[in-house]
Amino acid sequence: MQDYLKGLNEPQFEAVTHIKGPLMIVAGAGSGKTKVLTTRIAHLMANGVDAFNILALTFTNKAAAEMKERIERILGNSEARNLYIGTFHSVFARILRAEAHRIGYPSNFTIYDTDDSRSVLKTVINELNLDDKHYKPNVVHNRISSAKNALVGPAEYATDYYIQQEDMRANRPMIAQIYAAYAARCFKNGAMDFDDLLFKMYELLHNNPESLHKYQHKFKFILIDEYQDTNAVQYQITKLLAAAHENICVVGDDAQSIYSFRGATIENILQFQKDYDDVKVVKLEQNYRSSQSIINVANEVIKNNKGQIPKNLWTENKEGEKITLVRTMTDNDEGKFVADTVQEQKLRNHFFNKDFAILYRTNAQSRAFEESLRRMGIAYRIYGGLSFYQRKEVKDLLAYLRIVVNTRDEEALKRIINYPVRGIGKTTIEKCVIYANEQNISMYDVISRAGEFGFKAGTLEALQNFVTMIRYFQSLLTDKNAYDVAVHVGKHTNLVKELFNDKTTEGLARYENIQELLNSIKEWTESPSNDDGEVGDKSLGSYLQQITLLTDADDDKADSDTVKMMTIHAAKGLEFECVFVGGIEETLFPNAMSINTREELEEERRLFYVAVTRAKQRLWLTYANSRYRFGQLVQNEPSRFLEEMPEAFIDKTYAGGGARNQGFNNMGTAFERMNRGNANDAQNIEKKYGAPPTKKPDARPSYMPVVPPSNKVVEHKPSADFVPSDTS
Ligand code: ATP
Ligand code: MG
């Protein structure tokens, strides 16, 4: 027997060595699904299958690279480089380039990122004489994206009764026209957006028998990881590709399906057995990743979900340390606890930074962790999201504050001189820079003496208004603290309002980030002393100085030995020796946005299951009594998920902050709360949207209906590479 087969357990061996015919592996977390997939590819190749004939679809490109590496190690050659392996988006982009001529695209077509797409949309919306304040490009973009991922093209979109009803109800009846114009414009520009990489791939195969035939016979073996998170268009494409040989192997865990809000559906797992005859189904139940305690907790919590494929996840690993449940007073205490614990564990148990992961529900939560880690000098890296102070909206507000304190800060000035838009164009800015250089004065000096430089009347006025505004902010410095100035700036510039009005997921995240920044300034101004214990100067200047020191942290360490921080969504498939999961509080996790239906709540619980099962040895679950959200101190109850954990494997502890008064006993039962929640939610929904229709027009769960009778599903899920990591 080959060496690579020796370590496998029985069902793993069965899955790896099952060569021909459809194969489905449904298995719990850490049971070796990805390992089986990798080993299976190696085994196929060892048995004469040409790497060129294998297509493997992974959740991230990083995962694909790791798989290739492992296969090379197993086989001792570099054949793996010939595999078609990567995310759906990357693999299909490659195929679309080769086949572009068949669908009228140049082979070097441009791929538009989200910003490009929105900017094209804005142009198109204006050309249609529509108001882009009402037809917000990001809102329209989401709508079009959902359509593409449900395989609904512009023509179908315009004629689908339910879709049109939805758009009417949302008072945006012209989206169909925008969609058509946008698609035409992209085509004319020789460009595809992210969703097109899936949508056009489907169209290519569906409309071009030659292409379909070619790729069906090229990809004699198809393997898909994380199958529970594929959506309608991905499902249809792989079904087409696999139709000739039916050598398709999918691996997934229904308990880890966490992208349904983007159209992914575990139905795909159930459907698989109906799509093919003689599907071999393998269950993997032995977990190799985690300690007994961790598995017990994960199992116990996920049991509360009704719709699960029954699995009994067990492990031979040691019971290990108990899971530590940590209550803190505030989110800052939570951050401090985590940083302290990392430090302590490194000293005591010889862990390295890279053995730790900090997971959270929303990106805005990273701030408190970041600050504490920086203070302790612990190297960290944030995945799938910009570091808090790198985020555009945070930088924008900070840029205003910087210019108020020091008008010579040209970078900050350039950043915000025309943001939010105030009619100071590129040419004007360029002129200012030239004059400043000629006269050897600052750009701000040029602007404040704009009258001397012969600007046109309109421009002159805009520049003068800008200066008046900055001077007003400066006048606040003498008797207001940093927080008050920041709030004034946020309000007066309309920066906060602009973000507040953007109701998309991303807009909401950006608004939360600005609130988070304001919160942190507030906390800083209200704390009695600075970090070095000195009674603080609470001026804006003093605040910015300490922030600048934080932002100046050494970034070179990023790739080496660093603590990893990411949202739980981004952590799928990964494992770490030690894991912290933060903010396990009602309204945050489960998120307030996701408790309106049982389906949503169950998805939050699956997310919790994913978080817990990332840990190999140690797991800390933390929650704060209070945290600043949306500019206010909010008191949160501990998450209902915490009550679902078996006491025997939990250590409870309290870390930091004031009085230890709020115990574990005043939470009410989860059941009570859930019922209370459901009743309220139902009422609220009715109040807001009216009573439900007596006869539901369509049973589909989300906002976008899909055309029957095909098994297309709704919304979309781009692969992790394109997912804005904040998913809340
Ligand atoms: P997830 O559900 O999180 O994606 P998974 O089912 O894909 O997990 P893997 O990541 O493949 O699981 O494996 C989890 C860990 O268990 C890995 O470290 C892997 O090397 C190890 N492992 C899997 N099978 C075995 C085995 N038979 N013997 C030893 N270790 C194993
Ligand atoms: Mg995996």
- Best of 31, 71, 286 for a ligand 1 pocket test (most atoms within 8 Å of beta carbon): 31
- Residue 385: pLDDT band by 50, 70, 90 thresholds? low
Sign of CA dihedral 610, 615, 619, 622: negative
Instruction: Decide whether any atom of ligand 1 lies within 6 Å of the 289 Cβ.
Output: yes
Tell whether ligand 1 has an atom less than 6 A from the beta carbon of residue 34.
Answer: yes
Ligand 2: centre distance to CA 59 (Å):
9
Tell me the average pLDDT across 621-646. 90
Any known ligand binding at 720? no
Which residue has better confidence, 58 or 680? 58
Mutate to test the pocket of ligand 1, among 8, 16, 34 (most ligand atoms within 8 A of CB): 34
Q: Is the CB of 31 under 6 A from ligand 1?
A: yes
**Residues 68 and 81 sit within 8 Å (Cβ to Cβ):** yes
Q: Output the pLDDT for position 529.
A: 52
Spatial distance between the Cα atoms of 195 and 212, rounded to a whole number of angstroms: 20
pLDDT band at residue 696 under the 50/70/90 scheme: very low
21 is annotated as contributing to ligand binding: no
Ligand 1 centroid distance, CA of 299 (Å): 17
Which atom of ligand 1 is least distant from the CA of 610?
3
The answer to whether the annotation marks 211 as part of a ligand binding site is no
Task: Write down the pLDDT at residue 129.
Answer: 95
**Ligand 1, atom 8: nearest CA belongs to which residue?**
30
- 530-585: pLDDT as tens digits: 443 344 678 887 787 666 544 322 233 335 689 999 989 888 899 999 999 999 99
Report the 10 Å Cβ neighbour count for 56.
Answer: 25
Q: Would you say residue 673 has pLDDT above 70?
A: no
Span 273-280, average pLDDT:
92
Residue 137 beta carbon below 6 angstroms from any ligand 1 atom: no
368 is in an annotated binding site: no
Residues 6+ apart with CB under 8 A from 592: none
Neighbours of ion ligand 2 (CB under 5 A): 33-34, 573
Ligand nearest to the CA of 25: 1
Residues ≥6 apart with Cβ < 8 Å to 701: 597, 599, 714
Ligand nearest to the CA of 253: 1
Section 208-236 average pLDDT: 95
Question: What value does the mean pLDDT of the chain take?
Answer: 83
pLDDT at residue number 386: 58
* pLDDT value for 671: 28
Is 31 annotated to bind a ligand? Reply is yes
CA–CA distance from 384 to each of 60, 91, 429, 577 (Å)? Answer: 11, 21, 33, 20
Tell me how far the alpha carbon of residue 29 lies from the centroid of ligand 2, in angstroms.
Answer: 7
Contact (Cβ atoms closer than 8 angstroms) between residue 328 and residue 337: yes
Taking the centre of ligand 2 as the mean of its atom positions, its distance from the CA of residue 526, in whole angstroms, is 45
For the CA of 614, the closest atom of ligand 1 is 3
Does ligand 1 have an atom closer than 6 angstroms to the CB of 27? yes
User: How far apart (Å, rounded) are the C-alpha atoms in residues 97 and 395?
Assistant: 37
Return the number of other C-beta atoms located less than 10 Å from residue 689's C-beta. Answer: 9
Closest ligand to Cα 288: 1
% of the chain beyond a pLDDT of 70: 85
**Mean pLDDT across 193-222:** 95
What pLDDT does 551 receive?
A: 33
Report the DSSP pairing between strands 84-86 and 54-57.
Answer: parallel
Region 3-19: mean pLDDT is 96
For residue 334, the CA-to-ligand 2 centroid distance in Å is 30
Q: Encoding tokens for residue 359?
A: 């997971």
Whose atoms come closest to the Cα of 27: which ligand?
1
Residue 588's DSSP bridge partners are 591
- Helix axis angle for 232-242 and 88-99, nearest 10°, is 60
The residue whose CA is least distant from atom 14 of ligand 1 is 30
Q: Is the CB of 38 under 6 A from ligand 1?
A: no
Q: Pick from 583, 667, 623: which is nearest to 326 by CA?
A: 623
- Bridge partners (DSSP) of residue 328 are 624, 655
- Confidence (pLDDT) at 548: 55
- Counting from 1 in the atom list of ligand 1, the atom nearest the Cα of 8 is 27
Best CA proximity match to 702, nearest among 30, 315, 64, 166: 166
The yes-or-no verdict on residue 101 having pLDDT over 60 is: yes
- Residue 95 CA, distance from chain mean position: 26
Q: Which of 516, 515, 535, 510 is nearest to 525 (CA)?
A: 535
| Ligand 1 atom index nearest CA of 38 | 11
Distance 339 CA to ligand 1 centre (A): 28
With the C-alpha atoms ordered 466, 471, 472, 474, is the resulting torsion angle positive or negative?
Answer: positive
Is there a binding annotation on residue 659? no
Higher pLDDT, 77 or 551: 77
**Predicted local confidence at residue 659, as pLDDT:** 38
Ligand 2 centroid – CA 465 distance (Å): 56
**Pocket of ligand 1, candidates 259, 288, 309: which has the most ligand atoms within 8 Å of its Cβ, to mutate?**
288
pLDDT(427) > 80: yes
Sign of the CA dihedral running 368, 371, 372, 374: positive
9 lines ligand 1 (CB under 6 A): yes
Query: Is residue 147 predicted with pLDDT exceeding 60?
Result: yes
* Interface pTM, i.e. ipTM: 0.99
pLDDT (average), residues 79-107: 89
Is 384 within 8 Å of 570 (Cβ atoms)?
A: yes
| Nearest atom within ligand 1 for CA of residue 288 | 16
Residue that the structure tokens 């498939």 belong to: 573
Cβ of 63 less than 6 Å from ligand 1: no
* Protein residue whose Cα sits closest to atom 13 of ligand 1: 32
Out of 283, 289, 572, give the residue to mutate to test ligand 1, the one with the largest number of ligand atoms within 8 Å of its CB.
Answer: 289
Residue 668 annotated as binding? no
Residue 526 has pLDDT above 80, yes or no: yes
Nearest CA to ligand 1 atom 15: 289
User: Any idea which residues carry the catalytic annotation?
Assistant: 33-34, 225-226, 256, 614
Per-residue pLDDT of 290-336, as tens digits, reads 999 999 999 999 999 987 888 889 999 999 999 999 999 999 999 99
573 lines ligand 1 (CB under 6 A): yes
CB 29 near ligand 1, within 6 Å: yes
Question: Which of ligand 1's atoms lies nearest the C-alpha of 284?
Answer: 6
Residue from 646, 328, 164 nearest 340 by CA:
328
**Model confidence over 428-444: pLDDT tens digits?**
998 998 898 789 888 89
Among 72-76, 123-127, 280-284, 703-707, the minimum mean pLDDT is found in: 703-707
Please name which ligand lies nearest the alpha carbon of 287.
1
Query: CA 477 to CA 475: how far, in whole Å?
Result: 5
Residue nearest to atom 21 of ligand 1 (CA): 288
Within a 13 Å sphere around the CA of 85, how many CA atoms are in the beta-carbon half? Answer: 26
Question: pLDDT of 436-482, one tens digit each?
Answer: 878 988 889 999 999 999 999 999 999 999 999 999 999 999 889 89
Better-scored residue on pLDDT, 342 or 706? 342
Is 33 marked as binding a ligand? Answer: yes
Q: Which range among 552-566, 601-615, 642-656 has the greatest average pLDDT?
A: 601-615
Burial of 688 (0-12, 13-18, 19+ CB in 10 A): exposed
Flag whether pLDDT at 722 surpasses 50: no
Sequence-separated (6 or more) residues with CB below 8 Å from residue 683 = none
Q: How far apart are CA 148 and CA 716, in angstroms?
A: 8
Cα–Cα distances (Å) from 600 to 166, 260, 298, 595, in that order, read: 21, 9, 19, 6
pTM of this prediction exceeds 0.80 = no
Distance CA 180, CA 173 (A): 13
Q: State whether the beta carbon of 35 lies less than 6 angstroms from ligand 1.
A: yes
Q: What is the pLDDT of residue 233?
A: 93
What SS3 state is found at 426?
helix
Q: Which residue has a Cα nearest atom 28 of ligand 1?
A: 7
Nearest CA residue ID for atom 9, ligand 1: 32
